[in-house]
Amino acid sequence: MQRIHNDCLRSVSAGVTPRPVIVTLNQTKDWALLQCEVNGASPQPDVEWQDSSGNRVGSEQPQVSEREGRFYISLQTTVTKTDHYSCVSTQNISHQIRAETYVFLSDKVFESGSGVSISGIIVGLLLVAVLVALLVATKFGSIKLCWNRELEMEQELQRERELEMEQKLLRERELEEMKQELLRECELEMEQKLLRERKLEDRQEPRKECELEEMKQKIWREGKMKTMNLDPWRERKLEEKRREIRKECKEEEMKQKIWREDGLLQLLDSPETPAEKQNGYSTGNSKEAV
């Protein structure tokens, strides 16, 4: 019972101090505005800002309000370097409670104190970025070069295919023209051959007619000889008689021809008659008339 009583007395003497709440109201690359809030503390505590070394950080005047015996305190501060900052709430000297936050400002030195600035890191990152860009550009350039070569090869192959197609079409046209020429020559030869055959037929028709006529006469003579029952001796006699008749006919024709020529000469050499003079004919006119 005595122990419980002592604990109660200790809690009453210590009071009620809730944990502070830290809020970053605003921040740029050069500074940050922090706010510490202690809500519902009793009795009223002392609130302050400290850095990582325990040094007090300058701040504004705290804003204090009281409701039903409890205190609500708000304290703001502006920091200008990267560090760990703590909001400390103190009731009496023996009782403290704190809340901590970390603030990073881009143009300040890191907490480790290695002396490496953000600008150096940025320069290093830029160098790395440049190297990566160069590697990417080189890779892209090589890829683009390969792609251009492939494109040129494809275009060259396409041109070769087009040239082959044109040559093939030309060969086909030449073959077609040669075929047409051969067909025309064949047609011309056929026409000439038909013309020659027709001419030969036209020439052979009279011969055929003569041969047919001779065959008819021969058949007629043979048939007549069979009907007359002539012997070869009589046939020879008939043939000799025919020859004599032909000879006599030729001699008679020669005589008549000579007689006509002699009569014409006598007519040309005779003088004009009185009847011819009366009719107005002259020897010259008679010659012309003859």
Among residues 57, 111, 50, the alpha carbon closest in space to that of 82 is found at 111
Looking at residues 202-226, what average pLDDT do you find? 65
In a domain, 241, yes or no: yes
Query: What would the 3-class secondary structure string for 32-100 be?
Result: EEEEEEEEEEECCCEEEEECCCCCEECCCCCEEEEECCEEEEEEEEEECCCEEEEEEEEECCCEEEEEE
pLDDT band at 20 (very low <50, low <70, confident <90, very high): very high
Domain count, the chain: 2
In a domain, 180, yes or no: no
Which residues have CB under 8 Å from 203's CB, separation 6+? none
In a domain, 49, yes or no: yes
pTM above 0.75, yes or no: no
In a domain, 170, yes or no: no
**What's the pLDDT score for residue 48?**
93
In a domain, 242, yes or no: yes
Which residues have CB under 8 Å from 99's CB, separation 6+? 19, 20, 21, 22, 36, 86, 87
**Phi, then psi, of 288 in degrees rounded to 5:** -65, -40
In a domain, 72, yes or no: yes
Of 46, 80, 109, which one is at a domain's C-terminal end?
A: 109
Q: What Å distances lie between residue 269 and 34, 67, 80, 175, CA to CA?
A: 177, 194, 174, 86
**What's the pLDDT score for residue 71?**
92
In a domain, 220, yes or no: no
Cβ burial of 107 (10 Å; 0-12, 13-18, 19+) is middle
CATH number of the domain that 19 lies in? 2.60.40.10
Of 94, 109, 124, which one is at a domain's C-terminal end?
A: 109
- Following DSSP, what letter does each residue of 5-25 receive, concatenated? HHHHHHHHHH-B-PPPEEEEE
pLDDT band at 12 (very low <50, low <70, confident <90, very high): very low
Distance CA 22, CA 236 (A): 171
Looking at residues 224-249, what average pLDDT do you find? 71
Looking at residues 24-51, what average pLDDT do you find? 92
pLDDT, tens only, 172-204: 999 999 999 999 998 998 988 888 888 777 665
Of 109, 144, 159, which one is at a domain's C-terminal end?
A: 109
pLDDT, tens only, 259-290: 777 766 666 655 554 444 445 444 444 443 33
Residue numbers of the domain that contains 11? 2-109
In a domain, 12, yes or no: yes
